[in-house]
Amino acid sequence: MKTKHKILIGLLVLIILIQFIRPERNIENNPSRYDIFHKSGQPTEVVAMVQSACYDCHSNRTAYPWYGSVAPVSWLLANHVKEGKSHLNFSDWKLLEPEKQRHILDEVIEVLEKQEMPPKSYQWLHSEANLDQTQIQLIIKWATDFKAQLN
Ligand code: HEC
């Protein structure tokens, strides 16, 4: 067999083998009662925007794309979700002290103003996460009002 063919077959076997290393998926069956929007009465348009632009990485419920179960993409996603949740997990919101909640809302406002979130690479693949200026301002206003209500 030619070396070229050996390399190709080797690569193919490798791609198949890595599929057996499956990271845990971030899918909670029941919506968390500690979620920031659980029975919150928050404006539905803001809820919808935040859920579709932020929840894949900042909640216990990731909506995986079809390629999300294919290694090594699955590993990358698992890493993103783990990192994102370590900074902010909207599903655990009600377990946080008000002081921490205010701090997080400040950070949310900051990342939106600087357009750091959602990450650019994510927006390329998720058009629903491409927030325009009006939407960004709506979320910032909501976060500001919400912060003022916390005690
Ligand atoms: C594709 C995954 C992903 C999405 C979608 C996403 N984030 Fe993040 N977010 C991360 C990761 C990873 C980090 C931690 C690393 C970093 O700061 O870049 C992070 C960090 C943060 C932080 C903490 C910043 C800091 O200074 O510590 C905030 C606040 C935040 N995100 C808000 C949001 C908001 C609001 C949205 C939706 C508009 C969003 N993120 C969407 C992955 C994501």
pLDDT tens track for 66-123: 999 999 999 999 999 999 999 999 999 999 999 999 999 999 999 999 999 999 999 9
Nearest residue (by CA) to ligand 1, atom 7, is 118
pLDDT of residue 133: 97
- The pLDDT of residue 44: 95
Q: Write the CA distances from 137 to 9, 36, 59, 63, 116, integer angstroms.
A: 52, 19, 22, 25, 14
Q: What is the reported pLDDT for 40? A: 87
135 closest CA partner among 50, 69, 34: 50
* Rounded Cα distance, 60 and 25, in Å: 9
Q: Tell me if 55 CB under 6 Å of ligand 1.
A: no
- pLDDT at residue 111 in the model: 98
The predicted structure's pLDDT at residue 1: 83
Q: How far is the CA of 8 from the centre of ligand 1 (A)?
A: 38
Model pLDDT for residues 6-53, shown as the tens digit of each residue: 999 999 999 999 999 999 999 997 879 999 999 989 999 999 999 999
Give the mutation target among 37, 58, 110 for probing the ligand 1 site: most ligand atoms within 8 A of CB. Answer: 58
pLDDT at 46: 97
77 lines ligand 1 (CB under 6 A): no
Tokens, residue 133: 């200026």
Determine the pLDDT at residue 31.
79
Q: Which two tokens stand for residue 76?
A: 């990358």
Query: Does the beta carbon of 85 lie inside 6 Å of ligand 1?
Result: no
Size of the chain in residues: 151
> At a CB cut-off of 8 Å and minimum separation 6, what does 7 contact?
none
Distance CA 74, CA 90 (A): 22
pLDDT value of residue 151 = 72
